[in-house]
């Protein structure tokens, strides 16, 4: 197991370097530069000023030199300084916003798991029943609903018409003046819609996946054997079938991380949540290269870590993987 | 003589498969619904200029944000433009983005997947590690970054969605090639001295396209969703060109007063994506019923 883990970790290094090279190239080769953005509206900005700014930001050197500098700084967790007005360190900017994004994503993953697995299992157990058909319809609609639209509708319903839930931010304006219990509810109520909605997309996918896994497993000989020796339906499904059908789900969870992180741009923009997605959107708009790079890399690292955790836990529960 | 007979046999097998395909497809109600939606939308987009009751760009200050009525069945927007006409215009954009983006993704995916599967060894390794790298990106972040850095216009959007969406196709095609290249006809062709290019693209590829068709149909759905999300965020199709996503942005801005601006474009996206998803799954089930 130790060897497997080390092998996986070593394999991550070239992947990581590849990711950084692609991000770097994409961002720096795109036409237009942050210098132009900063000086476009300033008549005093002469060519000489621009050149000085370029030198200040290190943008005058050849691309591979810039990349080398960036990478060597990265080794000591230095993402550089943001190009934006505040001129803060990129690591500070990102890490103050990372927790809320991760928090929302973890909760929506948990929600996906607790709803999608039972849904898929029941649909497979009672194949072609009314429940199965209803789930199938739900799944297809779930695939097709643009989640940002669903967010708008729920905002209209719960926020505007019913007035039950707040529709933006993390806390109310009068948060400081509320009693403790109300403060807690205030926090929770701001997170209900974002978590619900970021879970929604994954929900459909996972329950469908779970259903087809279960159907696959139920067909196996050992399930027939279990039934033949007189076990109850319950024991067959939950003890024998479910465990085996759950295995591939681990991998799917690892693979769904990029989608969740990507989705956070949309939710954080709609609900005005100060997380990583919103920061990314703002940085892209301002051509803040170091921050864009930082977030792309952190997003990719989170994905790599997610995949690693998925693979390792898969190897833990399924010994066949370790040997290959 | 016997070769001719074999050819005939192969031909009738093909016919039989096609027949089976239609037989299974026709029985699948969901798939038929999907096909119907797709065809319907195709014609709506094709005849949009003739179906629109108003000019989609016509601003009318006297009719700002009017409720749906007999005159404007989906209401009017913040500039008094007819929402129904704008949605018809938007359907053209969605369809165009969906098809071109998926076309690009399929071309790249098929090409790289075929090379990886056929040559194996270091070519395979190189291409598949590249696939792994691309799969590590939160795709939406990457698309967002590139679009905003270039310039948000419809061509850039199609290209970017295409070049960030080819990985699954490459994997599918590679898997097909791994088994197909060992088949007798491919080995025989090679023994006869055919060039690799010929074997790959003329002989193996046509047999590997079925899963690509399924992936492409589902891909259209995905591309339409991505385009609408980008336009919604204001970095997709730019107004005044109508797109379902940017009508929804107006819906968000007027969320307190104009529900119709939010409801109808979203429903249109939902139905379109549903149509392509159902059709794609239907084709898959009809090709290989075991997967159902």
The per-residue pLDDT of chain B, averaged, comes to 82
Q: What are B166-216's pLDDT values in tens digits?
A: 998 998 888 888 888 877 787 887 788 777 888 888 878 888 888 888 889
Cα–Cα distance, B131 to B206 (Å, whole number): 23
Write out the two tokens for B29. Answer: 């109600």
- The C-alpha of B291 sits at a distance from chain A's nearest C-alpha, in angstroms, of 8
- The C-alpha of B227 sits at a distance from chain A's nearest C-alpha, in angstroms, of 11
- Residue numbers of B between 19 and 48 with CB closer than 8 Å to A: 30
More confident residue, A256 or A203: A203
pLDDT at A137 over 70: yes
| Unique residue bearing structure tokens 């599967």 | B117
pLDDT band at residue B102 using 50, 70 and 90 as cut-offs: very high
pLDDT band at residue B99 using 50, 70 and 90 as cut-offs: very high
Contacts of A269 (CB under 8 A, 6+ apart): A277, A278, A281, B233
- The C-alpha of A137 sits at a distance from chain B's nearest C-alpha, in angstroms, of 9
pLDDT band at residue B1 using 50, 70 and 90 as cut-offs: very low
Residues of chain A contacting B141 with CB distance shorter than 8 Å: 261-262, 265, 280, 295-296, 299
| pLDDT the model gives residue A33 | 66
pLDDT at A287 over 80: no
- List % helix, strand, coil for chain A (3-state, nearest 5): 80, 0, 20
| pLDDT the model gives residue A271 | 84
Write out the two tokens for B120. Answer: 């194996």
Q: What are A204-255's pLDDT values in tens digits?
A: 888 888 888 888 887 888 878 888 887 777 777 777 778 778 877 877 777 7
pLDDT at B59 over 80: no
Residue in B132, B262, B274 closest to A156 by CB: B262
- List % helix, strand, coil for chain B (3-state, nearest 5): 75, 0, 20
Residues of chain A contacting B150 with CB distance shorter than 8 Å: 30-31
* DSSP-derived secondary structure for A255-291: HHHHHHHHHHHHHHHHTT--SHHHHHHHHHHTT-HHH
| Least confident residue range of B35-49, B50-64, B90-104, B117-131 | B50-64
| Unique residue bearing structure tokens 């599918």 | B172
Cα–Cα distance, A222 to A286 (Å, whole number): 59
Residues of chain A contacting B256 with CB distance shorter than 8 Å: 160
Contact B226, B148 (CB under 8 A): no
| pLDDT the model gives residue B104 | 94
Cα–Cα distance, B282 to A265 (Å, whole number): 32
The reply to whether residue B140 touches residue A266, judged by beta carbons under 8 angstroms, is: yes
Nearest-CA neighbor of B196 among B181, B211, B209, B183?
B181
Q: What percent of chain B has pLDDT over 70?
A: 94
Torsion of CA A231, A232, A235, A241, to 10 degrees: 80
The per-residue pLDDT of chain A, averaged, comes to 79
Q: What are A83-124's pLDDT values in tens digits?
A: 777 777 888 888 888 888 888 888 888 888 888 888 888 888
pLDDT band at residue A138 using 50, 70 and 90 as cut-offs: confident
Rg, chain A, Cα only: 24
pLDDT at B52 over 80: no
| Least confident residue range of A251-265, B1-15, B108-122, B253-267 | B1-15
pLDDT at A267 over 80: yes
pLDDT at B235 over 80: yes
| pLDDT the model gives residue A176 | 72
Cα–Cα distance, B99 to B105 (Å, whole number): 10
Nearest-CA neighbor of A159 among A167, A150, A171?
A167
| pLDDT the model gives residue B292 | 46
Cα–Cα distance, B101 to B111 (Å, whole number): 16
| pLDDT the model gives residue A35 | 67
| Unique residue bearing structure tokens 């990583």 | A276
Length of chain A: 324
Interface test with A, best of B32, B145, B224, B245 (most A CBs within 10 A): B145
Q: Is B58 helix (H, G, I), strand (E, B) or coil?
A: coil
Cα–Cα distance, B239 to B8 (Å, whole number): 57
Contacts of B143 (CB under 8 A, 6+ apart): B160, B161, B164, B226, B230
Tell me the mean pLDDT in the region B78-96: 85
Contact B78, B199 (CB under 8 A): no
């Amino acid at each position: 197991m130790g060897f497997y883990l080390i092998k996986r970790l070593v394999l991550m290094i070239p992947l990581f370097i590849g990711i950084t090279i692609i991000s770097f190239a994409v961002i720096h080769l795109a036409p237009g530069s942050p210098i132009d953005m900063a000086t476009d509206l300033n008549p005093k900005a002469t060519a000489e000023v621009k050149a000085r700014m370029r030198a200040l930001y290190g943008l005058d050197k050849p691309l591979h030199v810039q990349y080398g500098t960036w990478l060597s700084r990265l080794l000591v967790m230095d993402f550089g300084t943001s190009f934006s007005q505040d001129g803060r360190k990129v690591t500070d900017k990102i890490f103050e916003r990372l927790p809320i994004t991760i928090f929302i994503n973890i909760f929506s993953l948990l929600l996906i798991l607790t709803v999608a697995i039972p849904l898929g299992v029941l649909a497979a157990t009672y194949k072609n029943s009314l429940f199965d058909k209803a789930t199938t319809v739900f799944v297809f609609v779930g695939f097709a609903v643009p989640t940002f639209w669903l967010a708008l509708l729920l905002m209209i319903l719960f926020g505007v018409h019913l007035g039950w839930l707040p529709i933006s931010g993390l806390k109310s304006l009068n948060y400081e003046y509320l009693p403790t219990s109300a403060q807690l509810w205030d926090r929770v109520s701001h997170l209900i819609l974002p978590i619900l909605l970021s879970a929604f997309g994954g929900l459909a996918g996972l329950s469908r996946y779970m259903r087809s896994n279960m159907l696959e497993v139920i067909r196996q000989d050992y399930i027939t054997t279990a039934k033949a020796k007189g076990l109850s339906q319950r024991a067959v499904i939950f003890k024998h079938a479910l465990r085996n059908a759950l295995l591939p789900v681990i991998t799917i969870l690892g693979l769904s991380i990029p989608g969740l992180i990507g989705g956070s741009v949309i939710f954080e923009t709609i609900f005005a949540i100060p997380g990583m997605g919103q920061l990314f959107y703002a940085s892209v708009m301002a051509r803040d290269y170091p921050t864009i790079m930082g977030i792309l890399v952190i997003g990719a690292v989170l994905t790599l870590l997610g995949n690693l955790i998925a693979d390792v836990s898969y190897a833990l529960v399924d010994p066949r993987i370790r040997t290959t | 003589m016997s070769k001719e007979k074999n050819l005939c046999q192969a031909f009738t097998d093909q016919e039989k498969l096609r027949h089976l395909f239609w037989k299974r497809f026709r029985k699948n109600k969901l798939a038929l619904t999907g096909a119907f939606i797709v065809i319907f939308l195709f014609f709506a987009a094709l005849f949009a200029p003739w179906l629109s009751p108003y000019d989609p760009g016509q601003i009318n200050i006297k009719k700002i944000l009017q409720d749906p009525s007999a005159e404007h069945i989906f209401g009017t927007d913040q500039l008094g433009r007819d929402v129904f006409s704008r949605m018809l215009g938007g359907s053209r954009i969605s369809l165009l983005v969906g098809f071109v983006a998926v076309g690009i993704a399929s071309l790249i995916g098929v090409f790289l997947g075929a090379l990886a599967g056929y040559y194996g060894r270091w070519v395979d390794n190189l291409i598949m590690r590249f696939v792994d790298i691309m799969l590590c990106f939160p795709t939406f972040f990457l698309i967002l970054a590139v679009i905003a850095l270039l310039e948000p216009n419809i061509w850039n959007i199609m290209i970017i969605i295409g070049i960030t969406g080819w990985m699954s196709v490459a994997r599918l095609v590679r898997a097909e090639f791994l088994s197909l290249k060992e088949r007798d006809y491919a080995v025989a062709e090679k023994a006869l001295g055919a060039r690799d290019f010929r074997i790959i693209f003329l002989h193996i590829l046509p047999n590997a396209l079925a899963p690509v068709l399924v992936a492409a149909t589902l891909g259209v759905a995905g591309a339409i969703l991505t385009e609408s999300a980008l336009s919604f965020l204001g970095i997709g199709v730019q107004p005044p060109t109508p797109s379902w996503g940017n009508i929804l942005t107006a819906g968000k801005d007027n969320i307190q007063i104009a529900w119709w601006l939010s409801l109808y474009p979203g429903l249109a996206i939902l139905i379109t994506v549903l149509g392509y998803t159902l059709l794609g799954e239907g084709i898959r089930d009809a090709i290989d019923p075991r997967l159902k």
